[in-house]
Amino acid sequence: AQSVTQLGSHVSVSEGALVLLRCNYSSSVPPYLFWYVQYPNQGLQLLLKYTSAATLVKGINGFEAEFKKSETSFHLTKPSAHMSDAAEYFCAVSPQGAQKLVFGQGTRLTINP
Amino acid sequence: EPEVTQTPSHQVTQMGQEVILRCVPISNHLYFYWYRQILGQKVEFLVSFYNNEISEKSEIFDDQFSVERPDGSNFTLKIRSTKLEDSAMYFCASRVAGPYEQYFGPGTRLTVT
């Protein structure tokens, strides 16, 4: 069965610092991969997705993620954190041919001024 | 920009009562989903719906749950006899055909007392 592991339930960085949120998946074949963000009292918003095209994927708000098959990873990065990036971030996998999303536990990102 | 809407935003009900959670997916979308998130836990898949029938469901989606698309625009989740452990945030999502991202609604917080 597909699973997703997000290392670190809580990450804290200073404003302007690099953001790195880790995601590893388990799958026998490369799945489709997604990062979603959830701001307080809001739904899940797509940041970016990987669907078997370029391994470096750029998303909204300056975020990007790199698919590394050898490491079964899809880590999310942003070069310079803004206060507005404070939110909960979810990595999700959708097995090819399946419909559902399988989510990781989420990582709460806090930005320190 | 089109969005998925959900009503109500918060529903409080007594144990054993029936509840119906309502969703209006994006109009040209073909696949519909319900997920739930118990406080402090990961987002979990409940059910997917396509072409007026359930295409996949999780172990959580037992006989107490049902879904319906009664009029071509609404998509509902019914829980026949609520339990305390049904208390959670319920998210509706929809997508077009193909390996595309799911668009999520803002969620309905269900509290069972």
pLDDT in tens, A47-59: 999 887 788 999 9
pLDDT tens digits, A45-99: 999 998 877 889 999 999 999 999 889 999 999 999 999 999 999 999 987 666 7
Count A/B contacts: CB-CB distance under 8 Å. 56
Nearest-CA distance B14 → chain A (Å) = 24
Find the residue in A nearest to B46 (Cα): A100
A98 touching B, CB under 8 A? yes
pLDDT tens digits, B28-73: 899 999 999 998 888 999 999 999 999 999 999 999 999 999 888 8
Cβ neighbours, 10 Å, residue B88: 22
Residues of A in contact with B91 (CB under 8 A): 43-44
A55 touching B, CB under 8 A? no
Q: For B106, which of A34, A43, A103 is closest by C-beta distance?
A: A43
pLDDT tens digits, B81-100: 999 999 999 999 999 877 67
pLDDT of residue A42: 82
Q: Are A25 and A93 in contact (CB under 8 A)?
A: yes
pLDDT tens digits, B5-17: 999 999 999 999 9
> Do the Cβ atoms of A103 and B55 come within 8 Å?
no
What is the DSSP secondary structure assignment for residue A7, as one 8-state letter? S
pLDDT of residue A97: 63
Nearest-CA distance B22 → chain A (Å) = 15
Work out the pLDDT band at A41, boundaries 50, 70, 90.
confident
Q: Are A35 and A89 in contact (CB under 8 A)?
A: yes
Per-residue DSSP letters for B18-49? Answer: -EEEEEE--TT--EEEEEEE-TTS-EEEEEEE
* pLDDT for A35 beyond 70: yes
Residues of B in contact with A42 (CB under 8 A): 106
> Do the Cβ atoms of A43 and B99 come within 8 Å?
no
pLDDT of residue A51: 82
> Do the Cβ atoms of B106 and A42 come within 8 Å?
yes
Distance CA(B50)–CA(B93), nearest Å, equals 12
> Do the Cβ atoms of A43 and B35 come within 8 Å?
no
Residues of B in contact with A96 (CB under 8 A): 99
What is the DSSP secondary structure assignment for residue B60, as one 8-state letter? T
Nearest-CA distance A70 → chain B (Å) = 22
